A and B are shown apart, each in its own frame.
Chain A
Amino acid sequence: MALLETANLHAAYGQTRVLHGISFSMEEGTITTLLGANGAGKTTTLRALCGMVRTEGEVRFGGQRIDGRATEDIVRLGIAHVPDGRGTFVNLTTEENLRLGAYTRKDRAAIDADLERVYGYFPRLGERRAQQAGTLSGGEQQMLAVSRALMLRPRLMLLDEPSFGLAPLIVRELFGILRALNQKEHVSMLLVEQNAAMALDLADHAYLIETGRVVLSGTSGEIKSNDAVRRSYLGY
Chain B
Amino acid sequence: MEPFIHQVLAGLATGGIYASVALALVMIYQATHLVNFAQGELAMFSTYIAWSLINAGMPYWGAFFLTVGLSFVLGVVIERVVIRPVENSPVLAVVVVFIALLVILNSVTGWIYTFTIKTFPSPFPGQPLFGNKYMSSHEIGAIGVTLVVLLLLYVFFRFTPLGLAMRAAAQNPESSRLVGIRVGWMLALGWGLAAAIGSVAGMMVAPIVFLDPNMMGGVLLYAFAAALVGGIDNPAGAVFGGFLVGVLENVLGAFVIGNELKLAVALVLIIGVLTVRPSGLFGKVHVTRV
Contact = CB atoms under 8 A, between A and B. Distances in A.
- The size bracket of the interface on A is 20 to 34
B155 interface: no
A55 B168 CA distance: 27
B268 to A, nearest CB: 31
A115 interface: no
A103 B177 contact: no
A152 B171 contact: no
Nearest to A50: B178
A14 to B, nearest CB: 14
Contact of A87 (B161, B167, B174, B180): B174
Interface stretch (A1-9, A71-79, A176-184): A71-79
Given A83-B175, A148-B179, 14 more contacts: A52-B177, A72-B177, A72-B183, A75-B180, A80-B178, A87-B175, A87-B178, A90-B171, A91-B167, A92-B167, A99-B161, A99-B164, A100-B164, A100-B179
A216 B62 CA distance: 70
A71 B177 contact: yes
Nearest to A91: B171
Interface string A62-82: 000000001110011000110
A89 B161 contact: no
Interface of B: 161, 164-165, 167-168, 171-172, 174-183
A104 interface: yes
Q: Is the interface of A mostly helix, strand, loop or mixed?
A: loop
Q: Which 7 A-B pairs have the closest CB atoms?
A: A87-B175, A104-B180, A75-B180, A71-B177, A100-B179, A103-B179, A81-B178
A100 B171 contact: no
A162 interface: no
Contact of A89 (B175, B182, B183): B175
A115 B164 CA distance: 16
Contacts of A163: none
Contacts of B161: 99, 103
A72 B171 contact: no
Given A72-B180, A72-B182, A87 B165 contact: no
A100 B168 CA distance: 8
A92 B164 CA distance: 9
6 contacts: A75-B178, A75-B180, A96-B164, A96-B168, A99-B164, A104-B180
A132 to B, nearest CB: 12
Nearest to A86: B175
Contacts of A87: 172, 174-175, 178
A92 B180 contact: no
Nearest to A101: B179
Contacts of B179: 75, 100-101, 103-104, 148, 152
A145 B175 CA distance: 10
Contacts of B183: 72
A103 B165 contact: yes
B240 to A, nearest CB: 19
A88 interface: yes
A75 B179 CA distance: 6
Listed residue (B161, B179, B180) with the most chain A CB atoms within 10 angstroms of its CB? B179
B180 A76 contact: yes
B180 A88 contact: no
Contacts of A81: 178
Contacts of B172: 87, 89-90
A90 B182 CA distance: 19
A71 B168 CA distance: 16
A76 to B, nearest CB: 6
Contacts of B167: 91-92
Contacts of B182: 72
A87 B179 CA distance: 11
A99 B180 CA distance: 12
A87 B183 CA distance: 15
A229 B137 CA distance: 81
Contacts of B181: 72, 100, 103
